[in-house]
Amino acid sequence: MRQLTKYAADSASNATAADETLQMAVRVIGSACHSDEPALGKALAFLLERFCGPNIFLKAVAYEQLHALSQSRSEPLPIILCRHSKRLSLTVVKALDRDPHTFSECVELLGMPPRRFFRSHLDHLLPPLVISNQREILIEIAKTVQQPLPMLCINHGHHILSKIFLMDGDNELMQQALQSFLELVTITNKPYSGSQDHSGVTITNIVRSCSVQLVFLLVLELGNADPALRRRAYDALYTVKSILDEDADEASLSNKPRPAVIVLDDSDNPGGLEAAGTSMREGPGSATLKRQGAKPMLGDKPLDEFLVRHILSILAYLNEILHAQDRRSRRRSRRLAMPACPAGERVQALRAIKKVILIIGAKATQFLSNLVATLSAPLKGGNLIVCIEAWKALAWAVKDASLSCEALNTLLIPLLERFSSEGPAAPPDSSDCEASDSEYKAMIAEVIEALLLDRETTIKSFWPLLCPIPRSQALGKVREMINRLQGVTLGPEKHIEYLVELLKHTNPVV
C-alpha cells in the first residue's frame, strides 16, 4: 500500500488536492471525538467512501488517514471501525458490486471474514439492497452466508418491510419496493431459490408471519426525531393492523377506507394532534399501497386497542433497549468493541414510550406497574428531560382515572426518589446537560402536582397512607394540599393503623 501511495502521489492531479486536504481535516475531527460519538462514525464513513472509490490516489490517502486516526486514538483500526460498523456496512457492501477486491480490503480493515461481516449486518444491509433491487449483491450475500435467497429475505422480512413502509416519496416507489421484495421471495432460479417452493407467498403472508417484530420496529420509529418519519410510522402501524385484522381469505382484501391516523406532536400539550393516513390492500400476486387523508380522532379504537394488545411485548422490547441490552452486549463489546446501546436509541425508545402512552390514553391505567417499571430506571441516568416528558404523558393519560392509594404510591415513589436525590442527574459520560439539578426537580414537581392536585377529594380518604411528600419549595402546592388534609380529625387508633400499614411497605423511602 505504501508503494501504491508513492505511485499515486506522483500522478496526482491538482483536482484531488482539495479532497486530500479535506480527508486530513476529517481525520483530525475524528481523532477528537468520543468513541461512540456519531461524528466519529461520519468521519469514518467519509474516509471509507474514499477508500472504496475509483480514484487510486484518494484511496491511498484514505488508507493512510484511517491508520493515522487509529494511531492518534491509540486503538486498533478494526476495533474503531467495528464500533461503527452498522453505519459503515452499506458503504462496504456497495464496493462488492464495483470491485470485489476493494470489498475484500474493506472487510480486512474491519478484521472480519466476509461471511461473518454479512451475518453481523444483515438487518442493516438487506432493506436498502431490496428497496434498490440490487439483486446481484443479494445473491452474492445469500451464497456467502449459505442460505437460499427467499429464506434470507423472509427471515429478515420485519426489517425489510419496516423500511419499505417508512419510505419517503409517492406510492409508486413503495409499490415498486414491495414488488421487488415479493419477486426476491418467490424467485425460482436455481440454486438461489433453495429446495422449498415460495411461489404462493404474498406480502400479507409475510406481514402476518413477522407481525410482532414488525410492530416493535414501527413503534420504535414513533420516537424518531424526524416528524415526517413519525407520521409514516403511524401510517405503517395502521397498515399492519389492517392486514392482521383482515380475514384469512385474500379475496376479502378491498380498498375500503380506514379510520383516521392519530399523530401526536412534540409540544408540551399531550393532546396535540395532526392527521395523516396510509392504507394497504393487496390483491392476489401483487402489492399495493395508497395514502389518503384522515381526520384526527383522539382515543380512536383501532390503533389504541391494537397497541394495547401488544403493549406488554412492546414494553419488553423497549425495556431491552433501555436496560437489558447493556448486560447482553458486554460479551459482544469485549469482542467487537461495539457500544452496548447508543444514547440516541435510548432517547428514541423513551420518546416512543411517550407516544404509545398518549395513543392508548386512559387504557394506560391497566398497565401502570409495567409502565412505571420501564420508566423508573431512566430517571436515575442521562436523558432525564426526555424521560420526564414520558412521565408527563403518563400523568396526563391517567388524569381522569380513579386511582387507589397503592396506584398513586406506585407512580409517586420513583419520582420522589429522584426528586430527593442529590448531585447530577446524569452520569459523567452522559450528554444530557440541558438543565441544572434544580430545574430537573422543578420538572418532576410538575408531574407530581399533575398526579395529586386534582385528586384532593379522593386522597382525603386515605392521605395518611400516601408516601411522604418532601418539604420543598418546588412542591409548595402539594404541601399546601397535604396541610389541608392533615386538618381532618383522625382518632389515635386510625393514626396507628395507617402508620403500621406504612411500616409494612416494601420501599425503604416510604
Three-class secondary structure assignment of 46-115: HHHHHHHCCCHHHHHHHHHHHHHHHHHHCCCHHHHHHHCHHHHHHHHHHHHHHCHHHHHHHHHHHCCCHH
Residue 328 or residue 473, greater confidence:
473
Q: What is the pLDDT of residue 412?
A: 92
Q: In the structure, what pLDDT confidence band is assigned to residue 256 with cuts at 50, 70 and 90?
A: very low
Q: What is the pLDDT of residue 141?
A: 93
Q: In the structure, what pLDDT confidence band is assigned to residue 472 with cuts at 50, 70 and 90?
A: confident
Instruction: Give the integer Cα–Cα distance in Å for 356 and 358.
Output: 5
Decide if pLDDT at 162 tops 90.
Answer: yes
The SS3 of residue 285 is: coil
Residue 303 or residue 127, greater confidence:
127
Q: What is the pLDDT of residue 281?
A: 33
Q: What is the pLDDT of residue 507?
A: 57
Instruction: Give the integer Cα–Cα distance in Å for 249 and 256.
Output: 16
Decide if pLDDT at 458 tops 70.
Answer: yes
Decide if pLDDT at 11 tops 50.
Answer: no
Q: List pLDDT tens digits, range 178-193.
A: 999 998 988 766 655 5
The three cell numbers of residue 106 are: 474493506
Decide if pLDDT at 50 tops 50.
Answer: yes
Q: What is the pLDDT of residue 493?
A: 67
Decide if pLDDT at 176 tops 70.
Answer: yes
The three cell numbers of residue 454 are: 386534582
Decide if pLDDT at 307 tops 90.
Answer: yes
Q: What is the pLDDT of residue 90?
A: 87
Instruction: Give the integer Cα–Cα distance in Å for 424 and 416.
Output: 16
The SS3 of residue 470 is: coil
Decide if pLDDT at 381 tops 90.
Answer: no
Give me the mean pLDDT over the 218-238 stretch: 92
Cα dist. 93→19, 88, 111, 141 in Å? Answer: 23, 9, 15, 9
Residue 92 or residue 1, greater confidence:
92
Of 30-34, 104-108, 338-342, 378-382, give the lowest mean pLDDT range.
Answer: 338-342
Q: Are 198 and 128 in contact (CB under 8 A)?
A: no
Range picked from 151-165, 428-442, 473-487 for highest mean pLDDT = 151-165
Residue 246 or residue 12, greater confidence:
246
pTM exceeds 0.85:
no
Instruction: Give the integer Cα–Cα distance in Å for 61 and 76.
Output: 18
Q: What is the pLDDT of residue 211?
A: 92
Decide if pLDDT at 257 tops 70.
Answer: no
Q: For the chain, first and last CA: distance in Å? A: 67
Q: In the structure, what pLDDT confidence band is assigned to residue 448 with cuts at 50, 70 and 90?
A: very high
Decide if pLDDT at 269 tops 60.
Answer: no
Instruction: Give the integer Cα–Cα distance in Å for 313 and 307.
Output: 10
By percentage, how much of the chain surpasses pLDDT 90?
31
Residue 216 or residue 323, greater confidence:
216
269 HSE (CA, 13 A, CB side): 5
Find out whether the peptide bond into 127 is cis, omega within 30 degrees of 0. no
> Please, what is the Cα angle at 415 between 413 and 416, to 5 degrees?
65
Average pLDDT, the chain: 77
Q: Which residue has the cell 395532526?
A: 274
Q: In the structure, what pLDDT confidence band is assigned to residue 466 with cuts at 50, 70 and 90?
A: confident
Q: In the structure, what pLDDT confidence band is assigned to residue 459 with cuts at 50, 70 and 90?
A: confident
> Please, what is the Cα angle at 173 between 171 and 176, to 5 degrees?
110
CB burial string 483-504: b at 16+ within 10 A, e below:
eebeeeeeeeeeeeebeeeeee
Q: What is the pLDDT of residue 34?
A: 81
Q: What is the pLDDT of residue 405?
A: 87
Residue in 288, 269, 271, 272 with CA at minimum distance from that of residue 280:
288
The three cell numbers of residue 187 are: 424467485
Give me the mean pLDDT over the 437-444 stretch: 88
Cα dist. 346→228, 266, 336 in Å? Answer: 20, 17, 21
Q: List pLDDT tens digits, range 23-46.
A: 888 888 888 888 777 888 888 888
> Please, what is the Cα angle at 390 between 353 and 296, to 5 degrees?
70
Q: In the structure, what pLDDT confidence band is assigned to residue 342 with cuts at 50, 70 and 90?
A: low
Which CB contacts under 8 angstroms, 24+ apart, belong to 9-15?
Answer: 9/57, 9/60, 11/57, 12/57
